[in-house]
Structure 1
Amino acid sequence: MIEVAAAIIENDQGQILIARRKKGKSQEGMWEFPGGKLEPGESPETCLIRELQEEMGIEIIPYEWFGNNEHDYGTVQIKLIAYMAKYSQGEIKLTDHDEYRWAGRSELSEYDWAPADIPFVERLLSLRHPIPRESLGS
């Protein structure tokens, strides 16, 4: 099983960063929370900081575990580990994706999601209150 980290990144307006997998990638054309594979011995938080810098050129601050989801894609099984994160800085430059959006939580159901991300979308849609950010310390 491959461990993959996903970042649910919020901006100051409470919108969430989502990205569409580009043609030629697995799950092409589907939307996901950005992230990537954990390297041996790497924590999900460290992975997300590294992957978002490499794949999008931005800095984030992961601050709270959001959940795990195991999904079998047939040819590969993944364990998706999601963390809430705060957008810190940088201008988005796409490498593994062909499009991105800052979406309001209520808009998330309008997108065609990669299957492993769907439980996190459903959980975000079910939350009645803004996502707590006490652990940010700001």
Structure 2
Amino acid sequence: MSTSTYTNTAYATNYGVKASNGTMGILVSGTKVLIIHRRLKNQHTQENGPPDTWSFPGGGLEPDETPEQCIIREMKEELAVDVTIEPIGDEPVWGMTDDNINGKLWRCTIFVVKQVDDNQQVKINEPTKHAGFRWIEWADLYPMIKADVEEDGKADMEEDGKADGAGQRMFFFEPMKNMVLKYPLRCDPSSLYKRTV
């Protein structure tokens, strides 16, 4: 595993504004990926909020922690699984987004990760932060996130993961929306294994 050249020190954006660093991990099983249902968290609600947005697992870097170390730690803390980072070609990172989350700027590093031991059962390890999880086909998820971006939160999903307007409305975490905007051509599942664009 490669290590990054930066740690959790705020970086300067083009506008001279400081931001924090975070990660998201795309946990892959075949052509399916895992998404978690985050609970609402804001300045008034810190834990046990109602179900809110869907996201990949991840979180903010600890002091002196690399993004690679962070995503491995976060996957264990949130889902009780050990993971390895799967390189995309010769690059360890799937992508990066710059996000405004609750008025705070974040740079999110996105990794593709795989379970070290398939016998480990994925579970919600932090129920005060997450309401549940789902495995969903990458080819179905990407258009749903795009629909949430384009239609201001009108992405729908049935229990089987199909987007057809008949099921539960899904809203996605800001870094996932920005991921689709920044990397619109990575909707093919092959982008989880090799650099396509």
Give the helix-richer structure, 1 or 2. 1
Do 2:98 and 2:106's aligned partners in 1 also have CA atoms closer than 8 Å?
yes
Q: Do the aligned residues in 1 keep the contact of 2:138 with 2:188 (CA within 8 Å)?
A: no
How does 1:89-104 map onto structure 2 within 5 Å?
89=117, 90-94=120-124, 95=126, 96-104=129-137
**Using the alignment, how far apart are the partners of 2:73 and 2:136 within structure 1?**
23
Q: TM-score, normalised by structure 2?
A: 0.59
Cα-to-partner distance string for 1:31-73 (whole Å, 9 max, x where unaligned) = 1110111112211111111111111101111123011111113
Task: Please point out which of 99, 103, 107 is paired with 1:75.
Answer: 103
Which is richer in strand? 1
Higher relative contact order (CA 8 A, sep 6+): 1
Which amino acid counterpart does residue 91 of structure 1 have in structure 2? Q
* Alignment equivalent of 1:30, drawn from 38, 42, 53: 53
Residue 65 of structure 1 aligns to a residue in which SS? Answer: coil
Following superposition, the deviation at residue 121 of structure 1 comes to 4.1
* Displaced runs of 4 or more, over 4 A: none
Identity over aligned residues, as a percent?
23
CA distances 1:106-137 after superposition (whole Å, capped 9, x unpaired)? 22115421112113245377444523547xxx
Q: Deviations over 1:67-101 (max 9, x none)?
A: 11111134311111101111233212211211111
What is the total number of aligned residue pairs between the two structures? 132
TM-score, reference length from structure 1: 0.81
| Structure 1 spans left out of the alignment, 5+ residues | none
